[in-house]
Structure 1
Amino acid sequence: MDLDPVLTLVGLGVGIVVGLTGMGGGALMTPILVLFFGIPPLAAVSSDLVASAVMKPFGSFVHIRRGTVNWSLVGWLCAGSVPSAFVGVLLMRAIGGDRGVHHAIQLALGGALLLAVVGLIVKAVRETSRRADGESSPAPVRVRPVPTLLLGAVGGLVVGLTSVGSGSLIIVILLALYPALRANDLVGTDLVQAVPLVTAAALGHVFFGDLHLDLSAAILVGSVPGVLIGARLSSRAPARAVRAALVLVLLASALKLFGAPNLVVVIALAVVALAGVSVLALRRSTSGRPAISDSQRTYANPTSS
């Protein structure tokens, strides 16, 4: 079995992204396999899911050791997503090569990822305002079982159909239901819940899909060390850095799902990154100015009071 070294390098890069942000596996790897390597969609989905099922436990283990996992959320998400992943595989086999259905799912997922980008930016602005106003940290996350289970089922269905969403779509769900969840815990919870979800979908594709072991092996050789590197960075990095990485990966995934050319994706990411750096520099320069105390105001204007 010959391994494609280029595909292995791509797997390394995607693995780092997955470990760092909890998402990007299917949303990046599946389009890459189809668009750049000419792999048929069903074979790309099957091979990518099997590789993810082996890769993601490595990144999950790092987050488990660091304590950045909400186990209650993991349980309710998996209760909905694991059985529906099998249903998604069966539906994909039933619709076969219906490109219209797959295209509609990709557009819907791309829209969801863009909403997640907006949600992350709004969350960052709120947290900054809260710190500036001297407010305390947000209250602990309170798990909502029924909505979490139902939305997990939707995520599992999409993963079974497309291999996309085990990380990216669940990130959207967690952001919508639990805006107070820390960025590091968001990534850790997302990675851990993805393990049984992707495993269920991968088993379905082993039996009913079009698995190519050489593709999966080439991806795994690069993605396993990549996800370990990314997970270690994510579990230790400041929440702000993880959130910035999430924004960039979500945006890139969404644009690729919409079919944007590579040049457009690169320009969009550069613009967003430059805007973020500019805003951060402006805030630092503003916050670095010395505050004027009440005694200083009185001294400067002795007639007041």
Structure 2
Amino acid sequence: MSIQYILSGFAVGLLVGMTGVGGGSLMTPLLTLLFGVTPSVAVGTDLAFASITKTAGTVTHRSRGTVHWDIVGRLCLGALPAALVATLALQYLGPLNASIGKVIRYSIAVSVLLTVVAILFRGKMLAWVNAKPSRQLQGRGLVAATVVSGAVLGTLVTISSIGAGAIGATLLVMLYPRLTPAEVAGTDIAYAVPLTAIAAFGHWWLGSINWALLSALLIGSLPGITIGSWAARAVPEKVLRGLLAMTLAGVAVKLLH
């Protein structure tokens, strides 16, 4: 089974390297649907997986100067307390309970669908914002919206392990349309590091991390991400994102049924 986990980590890493999104959106449903891992353990293990891989990504983006730390701070101001509250709620309700597992499963499905929307309509949403500068938030309104967005993402990520990638990047594009794609990616990855780390620590406290599974996924994902990053240059981005959106939509439907 460990070989299958390594291959799964490689496949997900390959897609993440080629598209820039889809880590949690693919990994968590893959673990629950293909390998029968309970939803709470799949979420906890994927959060630990994300915290490690995103740390490496943050180091790279920091060296390139593509992280806006002021925005990272605002997102964390909302996301980190929300992650703690969501963890305590899971502890109170019982994360390994069958009924709570079903709620987590549906939360994963909803998060996956939101990711599909973010992937397909990100360009149109950005065009809508840029069409009229008056639609762009400024000052305290922008700060408040960023903190609230962080809180929403913190809750989603803690419950389903999904949201810090495509959904987070789309919110950044809507709130800060002047950021370059590299700055959006760097800022999105940087704020996700403390968020996934806290959420993963919470799931460790709840006993919902499979360490052997985590190790196998990391072994497969690191070369997968490297190869995918190189392959991305040869495949049109629209084709990749379309395939990813179709895959995620099928995953969401399967989770709901």
Aligned equivalent of 1:63: 61
Q: Deviations over 1:87-132 (max 9, x none)?
A: 22232331533244234423432442233134324268789xx9xx
Paired residues of 2:21 and 2:165 also in contact (CA < 8 A)? yes
Which runs of structure 1 show a deviation greater than 4 angstroms over 4 or more consecutive aligned residues? 19-22, 123-127, 228-234, 240-248
Find the partner of 1:201 among 182, 199, 202. Answer: 199
> Which gives a bigger RCO, structure 1 or 2 (Cα 8 Å, sep 6+)?
2
Q: Deviations over 1:28-70 (max 9, x none)?
A: 1011111111212122111111122111111222222233323
Aligned equivalent of 1:134: none
Aligned equivalent of 1:249: 244
Distance 2:42 2:70 in 1: 32
Find the partner of 1:27 among 25, 28, 31. Answer: 25
> Measured at CA, do residues 250 and 194 of structure 1 come closer, stay the same or move farther in structure 2, by a change above 3 Å?
farther
> Measured at CA, do residues 77 and 184 of structure 1 come closer, stay the same or move farther in structure 2, by a change above 3 Å?
same
Distance 2:127 2:33 in 1: 36
CA RMSD between the two structures: 3.5
Bigger mean CA deviation after superposition, 251-260 or 74-83: 251-260
Aligned equivalent of 2:73: 75
Paired residues of 2:126 and 2:173 also in contact (CA < 8 A)? no
After TM superposition, the structure 1 = structure 2 runs for residues 168-187 of structure 1, keeping only pairs within 5 Å, are: 168-187=166-185
Aligned equivalent of 1:259: 254
> Measured at CA, do residues 218 and 47 of structure 1 come closer, stay the same or move farther in structure 2, by a change above 3 Å?
same
Aligned equivalent of 2:117: 115
Aligned equivalent of 2:158: 160
Q: Count matched residues.
A: 246
| 1:147 CA displacement | 0.5
| 1:22 CA displacement | 4.2
Distance 1:53 1:246 in 2: 24
Aligned-pair identity in percent equals 33
Distance 1:47 1:248 in 2: 25
Q: Which residue type is aligned with residue 38 of structure 1?
A: G
Q: Which residue type is aligned with residue 50 of structure 2?
A: S
Distance 1:22 1:110 in 2: 15
Query: What secondary structure, in the 3-state scheme, does the structure 1 residue paired with 2:163 have?
Result: coil
Distance 2:181 2:237 in 1: 6
- Give the TM-score normalised by the residue count of structure 2: 0.79
Query: What secondary structure, in the 3-state scheme, does the structure 2 residue paired with 1:166 have?
Result: coil
| 1:82 CA displacement | 1.7
**Structure 2: segments with no counterpart, 5+ residues:** 132-136
Distance 1:212 1:160 in 2: 16
> Measured at CA, do residues 105 and 260 of structure 1 come closer, stay the same or move farther in structure 2, by a change above 3 Å?
closer
Q: Which residue type is aligned with residue 105 of structure 1?
A: S
Q: Deviations over 1:218-262 (max 9, x none)?
A: 01112234345556788xx69x9667645543453344123289x
Query: What secondary structure, in the 3-state scheme, does the structure 1 residue paired with 2:254 have?
Result: coil
Paired residues of 2:120 and 2:245 also in contact (CA < 8 A)? no
> Measured at CA, do residues 230 and 74 of structure 1 come closer, stay the same or move farther in structure 2, by a change above 3 Å?
farther
Paired residues of 1:77 and 1:193 also in contact (CA < 8 A)? yes
| 1:76 CA displacement | 1.1
**Structure 1: segments with no counterpart, 5+ residues:** 131-140, 262-305
Bigger mean CA deviation after superposition, 179-188 or 77-86: 179-188
Paired residues of 1:26 and 1:164 also in contact (CA < 8 A)? yes
